[in-house]
Amino acid sequence: MKKTMYIVMAIVIFASLLSSCAAKPGDSLITVKGSIGKTNSGSTYILDQAAFDSKSVELTYNDPWMGDGLKYKGILLKDLITLVKPDSSVTTVALICTDGKEYDIAIADAQNYDIMLARWVGGTALDESNGGPVKVAYPDDAKSIYPDESWAWWVVSVDFK
User: For the chain, which ranges sit under pLDDT 50?
Assistant: 4-25
pLDDT at 12: 35
pLDDT tens digit string along 15-28?
333 333 344 445 78
- Short-list 132, 131, 143, 139, CA closest to 69: 139
85 CB-contact burial (10 Å; exposed 0-12 / middle 13-18 / buried 19+): middle
pLDDT at 9: 41
pLDDT at 7: 43
∠25-94-138 over CA atoms, to 5°?
A: 80
- Domains of the chain, earliest start first: 24-160 (3.90.420.10)
- Look at the chain and count its residues: 161
